[in-house]
Structure 1
């Protein structure tokens, strides 16, 4: 009888202890916590605890979190069941649009796109945004939108006519007669300009039409000594010191030029670099300036660089071999008209 009683008591004790363990396990609740501005997820077991207590056990300061986050559940209410909690950041964001001064704003939006939509700010197809639209909003994030505007105009440039003299034995000696009036011609250009926040970046000029000038013809009586043809005078003026490779320039300077090639990045003016793209110090050579470099050719100041200072420039080449072959050399930089 004693042996049977001991066995019964032992079984009863085991069952009692098992029930306590099962009961304890059933009282624990699994809580999953996510953040709007972080990829981290916290999963923890809570025994009659609150969100504040659960976060404290995970090493967080609930007081600081309450100031910055809005919770999907009450902070100090005990969990009654397994719960998923989402903490939405009330983040401070800096927003700069165009040439305006940055504004400090608070937002509970979760992405850059949602934030701009809430602020009723549209990003044009040519505008430059420093963040992806699906990028998460984080505290202290700076959002910058550069407004890019494209303007297309026409420009007309006149072409002076030339004067030609012809001898006429039928005219008295020394007499002159205009047999054909001269008429100026014109060149019509399409001028495309890109503006960044209202400031000109790049200007492209393309000839779209041309009207040739009409030569003035003057008949001179025989025996009169002819003056030097005006065409020759024009040619001599055109070949003076104000041209390089047939291009008019208004200034030249000595400097150093280094070859570089594609990095996968856009230029400082938003264009894709190609042959003729030149990186400059905009404090010395304004962006958009047309340049001529002997040995390289014509180009446009479209880019900048950390090592491009003073009279130092970088010349873009289509391949690394060309850039290495050019290396770094002293050059004369011509500023074209």
Structure 2
């Protein structure tokens, strides 16, 4: 059987709400949230069947029940995930915290975990094991596999939360399911990201972002092209990352693991190009929480802030340039790209750009 050609059948669909009363309010978007277009992102976790004899008597239904119950408890502190996004009178999105609930699907897939083609998640995971969100801010699907394993897939509305916020929630959810103390209490103080008076932003921001209203709608007849988005999942051993990091570093300057691997990936993609003049862009997500520590309010740490605090700086070089440069040279370009964004002034400029 093709590793992407398997059937997923729904066993049960529910709506999970917070187990305790939560604030019913309108949570405004910060200026950093407003940079994010309407898009979703997904994440999934794969679990083998437990070899622990004490766990062998748990049926799939029992395991799903534990997961669902823990979700209802995790939604209490993370109550924005139970709401929905709507437009205010100014046409801007805002979070309606109404405890409307999270779509929760219990499904079954006729495939074993070892046979999943995780290298091509677009066809084997998306829409099968990770749900397509139809409404709300978060959707969850727990899928039994015929080997006894489980896959937990979640789809988040990116306008409400970034990966850091989602990871806080997932950590608390896992801790509750294992009856452990929770380690994160989120806070939602949007005033931390108020713009300066008057707003002032670096001109480079104008090249990174444009207003949606200024983008020309695509033509009805879209020309067929070989350029299209692809998702890939890579498994790289630690020693290989260490080797790339060693090769990318020079003169006592040690590049980070993400800079080293990104430079390698950038060059690898260029190697497949024949048009030497064609540009190849590389973007890297930078979390601004540590860069904006000066904006923290008393007793509040930005590490527990719920929302979007990210930037995606990019750099570009031609296929010919990337083929001719060494990994050290490529890593230096990547580092310069990240360094420009990894500053408080960069994120303050982003906040001000939205306000201006």
User: Do both proteins adopt the same fold according to a TM-score greater than 0.5, normalized to the shorter chain?
Assistant: no
The TM-score with structure 1 as length reference comes to 0.23
Max Rg structure: 1
The TM-score with structure 2 as length reference comes to 0.22
User: Which of the two has greater helix per residue?
Assistant: 2
User: Which of the two has greater strand per residue?
Assistant: 1
